[in-house]
Chains A and B, each alone.
Chain A
Amino acid sequence: GESVGLHLPTLSVQEGDNSIINCAYSNSASDYFIWYKQESGKGPQFIIDIRSNMDKRQGQRVTVLLNKTVKHLSLQIAATQPGDSAVYFCAATNFGNEKLTFGTGTRLTIIP
């Protein structure tokens, strides 16, 4: 089966700085990865995804990097804002498997 883990449970970043949240997965067959943001008391919201045929994907202020060799992905948030404070989860799955396996989450705190 798949297991997904985040490297740091908490991360504090000064407002305006860039942040990097890291995630490791165990199943080399995993080929689709998602980052979610969860604010307190709410359901997770999709941020960005990446498929295994890519090693980088960019969105608005966010970039996901995938390193299949070491089974590692990261979420970079540029020019952090107070609204970025939340818990961030990575999730992984593979083609034909309907189950998303989630990591334990990193709580990102933006310091004003």
Chain B
Amino acid sequence: DGGITQSPKYLFRKEGQNVTLSCEQNLNHDAMYWYRQDPGQGLRLIYYSQIVNDFQKGDIAEGYSVSREKKESFPLTVTSAQKNPTAFYLCASSPRTQGGTEAFFGQGTRLTVV
């Protein structure tokens, strides 16, 4: 089955530690995205990548880092510099066709800092 997979579903981190969230897609999509969602809020864009080895900051990139070494993978690292990392993180991908197209989402990773 084609899709986008995020792991783990739940993640706990101690303050001061970096943690990496995994996102893998087998849809052959060029573009991938990371969003953050806080309770009762919309989705805010952290980083996005349109092609391998290239990525751009979104609206709330501070305290986060990404890499795009392979087309199918776009891991997100939440660093200790992120002041309020507890949130629901969503990864998405899209095929980048002309005129815009929908983004397909993973099931999310809920990160809790303890």
| A and B: interacting chains | yes
A contact set with B: CB distance below 8 Å = 4, 9, 31-32, 34, 36, 41-46, 49, 51, 89, 91, 93-95, 97-105
- CB contact list, B64-112 vs A, under 8 A: 90, 92, 94, 96, 98-108, 110
* B102–A49 touching, CB < 8 Å: yes
**Cα(A95)–Cα(B105), bound, Å:** 20
In the complex, per-residue mask of B42-57: 1 if CB is within 8 Å of any chain A CB, else 0: 1111001010000000
- Check if B31 is an interface residue, CB within 8 A of chain A: yes
Residues of B close to A4: CB separation below 8 A: 42
* A34–B108 touching, CB < 8 Å: no
Ordered by A's residue number, 18 sampled pairs between the chains whose C-beta atoms are within 8 Å are: A31-B100, A41-B108, A42-B108, A43-B107, A43-B108, A44-B43, A89-B42, A89-B43, A98-B94, A98-B96, A99-B48, A99-B58, A100-B45, A100-B103, A101-B45, A104-B41, A104-B42, A105-B42
Q: How far is the CB of B62 from chain A (nearest CB, A)?
A: 17
* B48–A98 touching, CB < 8 Å: yes
Residues of B close to A95: CB separation below 8 A: 98-100
Q: How large is the interface on B (under 10, 10 to 19, 20 to 34, 35 or more residues)?
A: 20 to 34
Between A31, A42, A103, the greatest number of chain B beta carbons within 10 A of the residue's beta carbon is seen for A42
* A98–B50 touching, CB < 8 Å: yes
* A99–B45 touching, CB < 8 Å: yes
* B48–A43 touching, CB < 8 Å: no
Partner of A46 from B41, B48, B102, B110 at Cβ < 8 Å: B102
Between A31, A41, A45, A94, the greatest number of chain B beta carbons within 10 A of the residue's beta carbon is seen for A41
**Cα(A46)–Cα(B100), bound, Å:** 14
* B90–A44 touching, CB < 8 Å: yes
Residues of A close to B44: CB separation below 8 A: 102
